Amino acid sequence: MRQFNTSSQDFILLGFSDWPLWNISSFSIPPCFFFLCHLSFLDLCYTTSIVPQLLVNLHGFDRTITKGGCVAQLFISLALGSTECVLLVVMAFACYAAVCRPFHYTTIMQPWLCLLLASISWFGGFVNSVAQRGLMMAMPLCGLCYLDHFFCEMPMPVFLKLACKDTKDTEAKMFVARVIIMVLPASLLLVSYVYLVQTVLNIKSAEGQRKAFETCGSHLMVVFLFYGSAIYTYLQPTHSYSTSHGKFAALFYTIITPMLNPFIYTLRNTDMKAALRKVIKRKRTD
């Protein structure tokens, strides 16, 4: 066995050293867990970029944020939100392959393809953020910079109220960018789930239908929570935008949805369901 220099307080985790190929493939081959890792990391970064400033605002009277901090928060939150839009489509494709092409699943969802799709999600999200941030920062702002929001985000009326010039051209360009990053992925999601439902309904076995719905049901719930609130915020007409409703929707897809995602995906696991039933039963008996 290979020798390591360690102190008496150190431990060496051998892991799957008996199966060296497993060390390389176990993390990247199962597409479900591979994409869930990306979604979890994304949600962690998303909330971390927003919640600290929100807590500062709730705790004290000083609610100022520097221009550099506002631009950084705007860029990061938009990049991560855009990445999630694309990543959810990628996860829907994985669900489609698992349900509609089960015998070819491992052939289709190879590690290199999973890595490519994840990379496209991150790249597309950050490109969209660079484009929209550039349009936003090109507008001159006038007067006192009061943002009627709990963080620096891209709801159009919030920033447009501070602009010193006509914003119709900028608004049109941003709307096109949002259609590309939100409506197009949402359309692909809708089409994929139409095929999924058709395939599931054609399954003769009730047990097979139940397993198929369990495979994709959690993802569909996450899609509904995220896209529903995000589309409501970003794609409604400017003249009908409600600040209070917009802030509530933003709170939903920036904090509540990332908080619920681990519970939604964890409850797919049979052991977790059994453990949860035991906890609920124990609480009732107490």
Dist CA 173 CA 15 (whole Å):
51
Q: How confident is the model at residue 83 (pLDDT cuts 50, 70, 90)?
A: very high
Question: What's the pLDDT tens digit per position in 102-149?
Answer: 788 888 888 899 999 999 999 999 999 998 888 877 777 776 677 777
How far from chain centre, in Å, is Cα 183? 15
User: Pick from 151, 131, 125, 126: which is nearest to 55 by CA?
Assistant: 151
Question: What's the pLDDT tens digit per position in 180-224?
Answer: 888 888 898 888 888 888 888 887 777 777 777 776 777 788 888
What average pLDDT does range 51-71 have in this prediction? 78
Task: Say what the pTM is.
Answer: 0.78
Could you tell me the CA-to-CA distances from 141 to 93, 176, 263 in Å, in that order?
A: 42, 22, 42
Give the CATH number of domain 29-237+259-265; options: 1.20.1070.10, 3.40.50.300, 1.10.10.10, 3.20.20.220: 1.20.1070.10
Dihedral angle at the C-alpha atoms of 107, 109, 115, 116, nearest 10 degrees?
90
Domain ranges of the chain: 29-237+259-265
Half-sphere exposure (Cβ direction) of 34: Cα atoms closer than 13 Å:
23
